[in-house]
Amino acid sequence: MKDFLQGLWMTARCQIRPYQEGDEKYILELFSLSFGGRLMSLPYWKWRFQVNPAGHCVIELCWDGDTLVAHYAVTNLTMSIHGQRCNVGLSGTTMTHPAYRGMSLFQMLARSTYNRMLKIKMPLVWGFPNLMSHRSFVRELNWVDIYEVPMFRLHLEPRLKDRNTSNEYIFEMSAADERFDTLWERISNDYDIITQRDRAYINWRYFMNPSEKYKLIVHVENDEIQGYAVFKRYGDELQVVDLMMGREPVDVGENLIKYVIVHALQENASSVSLWLNVTHPLHHALEKMGFRPEGPVTYLGGLVLYPTIDKLFYDFRSWYFTMSDSDVF
């Protein structure tokens, strides 16, 4: 009873307010406290939350006096939902000071965040809760489970001989140009629900990121980009972080993935992995190559805040997503 009353007293004195300039120092300190000493650099924080081309993020903070005790942020992203463009919130970076856990601060912050999203006309929040937070999102914040996302993985065999990456259609690029805007406008309507992948997004997501190194390859015909893939090394694996092309024909996606496989063999990687909705036509082609669903499984879920958003938002068949939609990769 004493611990319960103390918890109520501590919760009552906590104050919630939006992020203000200068709070980042305390946010980085709380990140380290919350995640066992892991560090988030200031350049990464500024990249993630301040220079996003879709606009500034929504960050709610909970303070006990001068001590930051909890944090919840959603990244502002532009999403195409059945052809309509709107700004939505990608949920991420939830954290609570170890001494303040079990006091429902996460739920309080989330509700405050969603109320502020409504005020600025962000109609929905979505994301990829991990095993630690999934239950809380669904049971306490009324999130709806949309999909369980497996790793779609190909285990490479050293005996594979084809290690030649030459392909007349595949090129590496060090930045996105105006042709990526043309690609996005041409194929975005192939997908009912997809985050915007134009030139500004690609350059921000992959080439301005101060903490990760990515490779971008494109499939080009007659100087027109038909699709692209972004990949990086993670341990012994090459992860295809992003893959974008029209639903048909599947040969564009196949060519891009084959290039990544050969690159992985050259680097002596043990496997290649990606996320791909099972309903996408390319999924069957990659199964023929030997890709198989494996763990770890990630949850995709969300919550519609405006009733005007089509409930098909909760139908996994409507979605196109890749690892790049998560803030983990």
- Could you state, in order of their start, the residue ranges of all structural domains in the chain? 2-122, 150-298
- Tens digit of each residue's pLDDT (9 = 90 or more) over 58-70: 999 999 999 999 9
**pLDDT exceeds 50 at position 4:** no
Contact 242, 325 (CB under 8 A): no
Contact 242, 232 (CB under 8 A): no
DSSP 137-189: HHHHH--EEEEEEEEEEEE--TT--------TTEEEESS--HHHHHHHHHHGG
Computed over every residue of the chain, the mean pLDDT equals 91
- What is the pLDDT, as a whole number, of residue 249? 85
**295-321 burial, b for 16+ CB within 10 Å, e for fewer?**
eeebbbbbbbbeeebeeebbebebbbb
Tokens coding 207:
């080439």
**Which residue did the predictor score with more confidence, 116 or 311?**
116
Arithmetic mean of pLDDT, 191-201: 96
- What is the pLDDT, as a whole number, of residue 316? 94
**What stretches of 256-311 adopt beta strand conformation (E)?**
271-274, 292-304
Give the HSE-up count for residue 185: Cα atoms under 13 Å, Cβ half-sphere: 7
Tokens coding 313:
């938002």
CA gap 65, 70 in Å, rounded: 12
- Tens digit of each residue's pLDDT (9 = 90 or more) over 206-238: 999 999 999 999 999 999 999 999 999 999 999
- What is the pLDDT, as a whole number, of residue 200? 97
Question: What percentage of the chain exceeds 90 in pLDDT?
Answer: 83
Distances (CA, A) of 297 to 107, 134, 216, 257: 24, 12, 26, 21
Arithmetic mean of pLDDT, 311-329: 93
**pLDDT exceeds 90 at position 306:** no
Question: Among 194, 274, 193, which residue's Cα sits nearest to residue 282?
Answer: 274
Contact 252, 220 (CB under 8 A): no
**pLDDT exceeds 90 at position 312:** no
- Tens digit of each residue's pLDDT (9 = 90 or more) over 125-139: 999 998 888 999 999
- What is the pLDDT, as a whole number, of residue 7? 44
Are both 2-122 and 150-298 of the same fold? yes
Mark out the alpha helices in 193-249 (DSSP H runs).
Answer: 199-202
- What is the pLDDT, as a whole number, of residue 157? 83
**Residue 295 neighbours by CB under 8 Å, 6+ apart:** 150, 151
Q: CATH class for domain 2-122?
A: alpha beta
- What is the pLDDT, as a whole number, of residue 166? 64
- What is the pLDDT, as a whole number, of residue 210? 95
Arithmetic mean of pLDDT, 70-84: 93
DSSP 16-67: EEE--TTTHHHHHHHHHHHTTT----HHHHHHHHTS-TT-PPEEEEEEETTE
**36-46 burial, b for 16+ CB within 10 Å, e for fewer?**
eeeebeeeebe
- What is the pLDDT, as a whole number, of residue 275? 98
* Pairing state between β 271-274 and 237-245: parallel
CA gap 114, 303 in Å, rounded: 10
Please name the fold of domain 150-298: Aminopeptidase (3.40.630)
